Amino acid sequence: MTGHASYVGRFAPSPSGPLHFGSMVAALGSYLDARHHRGRWLLRIEDVDRPRVVVGAESAILRTLEAFGLEWDGPVVRQRERVAAYEQALAQLQAAGKVFGCACTRREIADSVLARDGSHRYPGTCRNGLPPGRAARAWRFRTSPGEVCFEDLAQGRLCEDVDADVGDFVLLRADGLFAYQLAVVVDDGEAGVTHVVRGADLIDSTCRQILLQRALGLRTPRYLHLPVVVNSAGEKLSKQTLARAVDELAPQTVLFEALVFLGQQPPAVLAREGIATMRSWAIDNWQREQVPGRRTGLLSL
């Protein structure tokens, strides 16, 4: 075990359903990387996107983490209680001229080129001022050409020209809600997160988040993107793909299979142990280098 007193990790689930095997892999990967490095492991409920919140999901997530003995440090942070911090960050960006108000409707943007993640690249309509008679509906971050790069601890070096791929991206949405990109950067920054370990479905957001960190004067954490669990049709597990909640399965099986999925090669005898023994084996023997450097992995359950 190596000791880094200054490691701060976190798990940041969206309460859109109970934890399934895929989200359990993200919870376990971030927990093990933190605990192996004697770090803190924080829990944040990402409910900034209010329409996606499912009643009861938050308490189901907390119960499942407790059942697996994945204990977090400090109080649970909930994004719905952090709006003032997001407002302050937006005001800081406004004062620095790094954002602009946008009057475009979804429909007006729909004709523009598709970005990497399937969303539309913003064509820059309002970046030099609102068209006459139009009011700002949303606030966007002003991007500029040039690559942003980072060294992912599992996936290697990744670069993106955010301006070319995404364009000026939304920080405050037309429905009055703050965008995930801003919330995650403000929350991780304030909590002093040093290591972001999460699913590779978020890898394409990382360069946008790095741009925001720079604009807000925040340190960029290290990133480790874990392969996302997919079914045999290549679909990410979600309620739509009928992923079972992990608490419907035997915890030992879930832990053992999650360790295998994360490339950790647990000894077969471990499968017959209790979850406390499995967990301490996994903390002691965690090897970040063994995490497959792939964006997806097949579900083996």
Q: Does 27 bind ligand GLU (CB under 6 A)?
A: no
Q: Is position 8 an interface residue for ligand GLU (rule: CB under 6 A)?
A: no
Q: Which is nearer to ligand GLU, 82 or 137 (CB)?
A: 82
From the list 50, 80, 239, 272, the catalytic residue is 239
13 part of the interface to ligand GLU, by CB under 6 A: yes
46/165 with CB nearer ligand GLU: 46
CB count, 10 Å around CB of 47?
Answer: 21
The footprint of ligand GLU on residues 75-114 (CB under 6 A) is: none
Catalytic annotation on 98? Answer: no
The minimum distance between CB 14 and ligand GLU, in angstroms, equals: 4
* Interface with ligand GLU in residues 157-196 (CB under 6 A): 184
Binding segment for ligand GLU (CB under 6 A), chosen from 10-18, 170-178, 253-261, 283-291, is 10-18
φ and ψ at 49, to 5 degrees? -90, 80
* C-alpha–C-alpha distance, residues 276 and 288, integer Å: 21
Which distant-in-sequence residues (6+ apart) come within 8 Å of 71 by Cβ? Answer: 41, 65
Q: Does 12 bind ligand GLU (CB under 6 A)?
A: yes
Q: What's the closest the beta carbon of residue 25 comes to ligand GLU, in angstroms?
A: 12
Closer of 98 and 198 to ligand GLU (Cβ): 198
Residue closer to ligand GLU by CB (options 205, 264) is 205
Burial class (CB in 10 A: 0-12, 13-18, 19+), 89: buried
Distance of CA 158 to the CA centre of its chain: 16
**Residue whose CB is less far from ligand GLU, 206 or 264:** 206
C-alpha 117/C-alpha 114 separation (Å) is 8
206-220: b (≥16 Cβ within 10 Å) or e = bbbbbbbbebbebeb
Check binding of 22 to ligand GLU (CB under 6 A): no
| Residue pair 122/143 in contact by the 8 Å Cβ criterion | no
Contacts with ligand GLU by CB under 6 A: the residue count is 7
Instruction: Kindly write out the interface string for residues 193-212 of this chain, putting x where it contacts ligand GLU by CB under 6 A and - elsewhere.
Output: -----x---x----------
Under the rule (CB under 6 A), what is the footprint of ligand GLU? Answer: 12-14, 46, 184, 198, 202
Q: Which residues are catalytic?
A: 239
